[in-house]
A and B are shown apart, each in its own frame.
Chain A
Amino acid sequence: MLTEKIREIAKKLLEEGKIEAFLCYEGTSHPFRNRAVLVKSPEEVKKLLWPSFGVINLATPLQKLKGQKAGILATGCVSRAIVVLIQEGQLKREDLFVVGVPCPGMLDPSKVRDKAPEIIDVIDDLKDEVLIVTPEDKIKFSREELLRNNCQECRHPVPPLYDLLLDFSGREKSPDPYRRVQEIEDLTLEERWQWFEREVLRRCFRCYACRQACPLCYCPTCFVDDSRPQWVGKTRDLIDTALYHLVRAYHLAGRCVDCGSCEAACPMDIPLRLLTKKLEKEALLAFSFEAGLDPEAPLLFTSFDENDPEDFMLTSELKASGKI
């Protein structure tokens, strides 16, 4: 259904010459991998499909098409990433034709892969059920269970920016988007450090796949590659890894659209999203700010309010206790 709709739209747009190329996903020889594909002629559209495992945000490859009039399949998070890229002057709105889909959520390859020793196909009804086909059997799973973490916690399944919205009923807004962040916040300081060290620092070997997959990490020279000053050392010392992860997350503060590409790209399954999700939560609570909803709105760090919170500052603390 969705696949047919996507092919039809892409074909029509290419035939009418409204776009030069259409960016979407295609299947692979692997039962639970989809990859991005760019089609340039109406004959090629039969490749395209709705990806149940489209884990890498299409806005990342989209930036390589600068200057071409391109169509793109956009779920909520892809569309929001495009909005941030437009806000930051990286993309031009008039170069794009955004085909929006109210997103049903995508499945997590790392959750599917452990369900059976051999999987030959995964059949996804995009509503409630997923069938995992093994050589002997078909096993039924609830879709909710196999969804990616960020899809379970998605706040905006419907794209905020599109030229055409496909008729489809996607997921509802998550009622409890910050559950996993809350679990970490509830730990003591010591436990949080142990969690960070165990889950992030000891596992990361700094392949920078998270940075490459991120639609918003587009700096030509990343701070980790700077050599004068060298912010991040080239050793496997934990502090170097910590510095990378903290500054990476901080650079996404008020920009991250929680598409989960970083986590999907990570070969070590590090819960990278929790760091950016924490910042997303703080931005929402303290500044009522959400990234990627309006291309005309200012960014979090390019704006301020006179009444921004100040109680975290030492001088406010001293003033409150009457010491100054």
Chain B
Amino acid sequence: MSWEPRIIAFLCNWCSYAGADLAGVSRLRYPPTIRIVRVPCSSRVSPAMILDALKSGADGVLVSGCHPGDCHYLTGNLFARRRFFMLKKLLEFVGLEPERVQFAWVSASEGDVFAKVVSELTEKIKLLGPNTRFRKILGGKI
């Protein structure tokens, strides 16, 4: 059986989670590689959560929230955007493949965008292969 990546997706309750739901209700096809964690807002996601997912064996992490201006809490995603920018620069600086940690805006009506985001991300991570650098390897085995 070919290797399938495992991707942890932190989706905001108000837009992206509903977007994922719409993708499902609309019967859109996308790879079964993601495991969704529902969070109240994209700004709830701290870097420790992202790194913890990678450490625990995820091959990629997706954080998705509302489009700027659509945030349920008005400005949460705008704070999040700054933080993720800095985090991404730092991770690239120390040699984490930039494709592994991704951020997206998906609104509740964009089921098709959600499906596309997951397909593209899965493709990118398949090219990279399993996450070995940022994973805790117990007993030297993956």
Contacts and interface: CB of A to CB of B under 8 A. Distances in A.
Interface of A: 184-185, 189-197, 200, 223, 229, 231, 233, 235, 237, 239-240, 242-243, 246-247, 249-250, 253-254, 275, 278-279, 282-283, 286-287, 300-302, 304-306, 308-310, 312-315, 318, 323-324
B93 to A, nearest CB: 5
B78 A304 contact: yes
Contacts of B96: 193
Contacts of A275: 90, 93-94
Nearest to B78: A304
B82 A278 contact: no
B79 A301 contact: yes
B86 A185 contact: no
Q: What are the 6 closest A-B residue pairs judged by CB atoms, nearest first?
A: A193-B95, A192-B95, A304-B78, A196-B94, A314-B102, A315-B104
B70 interface: no
A309 B75 contact: no
Contacts of A287: 82
Interface of B: 47-48, 51-52, 54-55, 62, 68, 75, 78-79, 81-97, 102-106, 112-113, 116-117, 120-121, 133-137
Nearest to B133: A193
A324 B116 contact: yes
Main secondary structure of the interface of A (DSSP, over half): helix
Given A253-B86, A315-B117, A239 B55 contact: yes
Given A314-B102, A315-B117, A240 B136 contact: yes
A229 to B, nearest CB: 7
B113 A237 contact: no
Contacts of B54: 239
B116 A250 contact: no
A323 B110 CA distance: 13
A275 B54 CA distance: 20
A314 B90 contact: no
Given A193-B133, A237-B136, A318 B55 contact: no
A278 to B, nearest CB: 5
A14 B86 CA distance: 44
B67 to A, nearest CB: 9
Contacts of B113: 315, 324
For A231, A240, A283, the residue with the greatest tally of chain B CB atoms inside 10 Å of its CB is: A231
Given A314-B117, A323-B120, A246 B85 contact: no
B95 A315 contact: no
